[in-house]
Every structure is written in C-alpha cells, then in structure tokens.
Amino acid sequence: MVEDGQLAAARDAFKDAVRTAAVQAGPQPQLDPDRHRDLVLRTFIADGRLTQIPAAHGKRMVVLEHIASSFEPGVRYPEREVDAILRAWHDDHAALRRYLVDAGLLSRDNNVYWRSGGPVVV
C-alpha cells in the first residue's frame, strides 16, 4: 500500500491474518496442570518440540522437568537412547543432556543414564 508517496504496511491485513490463524489453531492442549508452568511450557514448546532452551534458570527448570518425564523412573538408558529421546525434543540434544544431568534430573555412570529427579505422575 502507498501512503504519502511511500510504501507502508497494510496493518489491517496483518491483524486479519493473525486473527484467522488463531481461530484455525483452536485451543492448545494443557501441558501442565499448574497455570504458571503451563504458560512457560507453551512459550518454549511448539508441536511437541522445544523451540529454544530458556536462558532464565527458573523457566529452564520447568522445561527440563517436563522433558525429564520422557524417561521412566527405574529404567537405565544407554547414551545412544538418551540422545534419540532428546533429539526428538531439540536438535542440540547434547546441551539438553548436560542440563538434565547438571540439574539432577538424570544421573550418569559409564555412559548409562537414569532418571534421578523431577516429579513423577502416579
């Protein structure tokens, strides 16, 4: 669109596109029963994948605890299997693995990992 002899964005077209996309998307499934944690997870997880690793420690812990639930308590996983599970979440699976170990959510010994923290749904 041209305004005063210069190109300008058609704001209404952008607004309409956003409204249409929001209606088509429909309601998103709840990722956590706690409202605050659910909001954090929705911010960083889209289509079942982590869009980015949160920089803020508190938000990163919420995301890491959610990802840790991908591992069954009491099961030992070889590093290759841990990497495959984490790669499904994010391309930088090595960073996720380090964060999970550093946070005490996964433990490691001789390239074997097991879930050692985080909430467990009973």
CA 59 vs. chain centroid, Å, equals: 10
Distance separating alpha carbons of residues 48 and 89, to the nearest angstrom: 7
Per-residue pLDDT tens digits of the chain, which is 122 residues long: 677 777 777 777 767 777 776 556 556 788 999 999 999 999 999 999 999 999 999 999 999 999 999 999 999 999 999 999 999 999 999 999 999 999 999 999 999 999 999 887 76
Token match 């605890």: residue?
Answer: 65
Looking at the whole model, is its pTM more than 0.85? no
